[in-house]
Amino acid sequence: MFIHPQINPVALSLGPFQIHWYGIMYLFAFLGFLQLGKVQIKTRPWLFWNEKMLDDAFFYGAIGVIAGGRLGYILFYQLQYYLREPIEIIALWKGGMSFHGGFLGVVIAMILTAKKYKITLLSVLDFIAPLVPLGLAFGRIGNFINAELWGRPTQFFLGMIFPNVDDIPRHPSQLYESFFEGFVMFVLLWLYSNQKRKTGQIAALFLILYGTFRFLIEFTREPDSFLGLLFLNLSMGQWLSIPMLLAGIYLFKKN
């Protein structure tokens, strides 16, 4: 059994200005996206991308991640709270980002990128899919540092006590997600995309892997207290992941 280290979510304070670990994790995610994108451009010429296209995809995508992630969290999870406390909408350092909302925001951003360069949306998604998982890993590490999104009670040997919650061992579900949805997905997608594939198949594999990992790991994650479990005793995260999984299977078979 382990005990959560209770890391201070503020990495650095400079007078009234504070730098939060959660924000640093987003910085790592964005830098990783750019660096991996440059590697793809140099080593995978069949993708026909250049650094100007990468910079534009990054710019639009970063806006999509932040705006979509926040809006998705508000709409999918805590609408009533933010209607009561609208000032809290801008408090991004406290967490409260929805992957599924961020995903939709990125798709919209990639539509703009595709239109600008007159290429297909699927070819854009194929390019960025292997660049995303490491960012997801960093994001979940940020959740772990914030001691949020903890898991359900367990006797599993990896059980961890979160003192800010109670003294019951719980699954460190943030770390499960960081490992599987982040590092494992990155390795699988990077290896799969290391040779030319049919358009849409890399994006399809991303959807299949994320939908599967998220659906399964949600069984170890404590449901949000303000939502609980929904129809068929599934969480909101599971219900939002099912369409991703189905879309990925359809797209993979179609292409």
* pLDDT tens-place string over residues 177-189: 999 999 999 999 9
Q: 83-104, pLDDT tens digit by residue?
A: 787 777 777 666 677 888 889 9
160-161 and 169-170: which strand pairing?
antiparallel
Do 99 and 71 contact (CB within 8 A), yes or no? Answer: no
Picking from 14-18, 78-82, 136-140, which range would have the lowest pLDDT averaged per residue? 78-82
pTM for this entry: 0.91
State yes or no: pLDDT of 172 exceeds 70: yes
Strands in 169-170's sheet, in edge-to-edge order, are 2-3, 160-161, 169-170
Contacts of 133 (CB under 8 A, 6+ apart): 181, 182, 183, 185, 186, 189, 206
Contacts of 236 (CB under 8 A, 6+ apart): 76, 77, 224, 227, 230
Q: How far apart, in whole angstroms, are the C-alpha atoms of residue 180 and residue 165?
A: 24
Q: What is the mean pLDDT of the chain?
A: 92
Q: Which of 167, 171, 169 is nearest to 151 (CA)?
A: 171
Q: What is the pLDDT of residue 94?
A: 65
Backbone angles phi, psi at 149, to 5 degrees: 60, 40
Query: Is 70 annotated to bind ligand?
Result: no
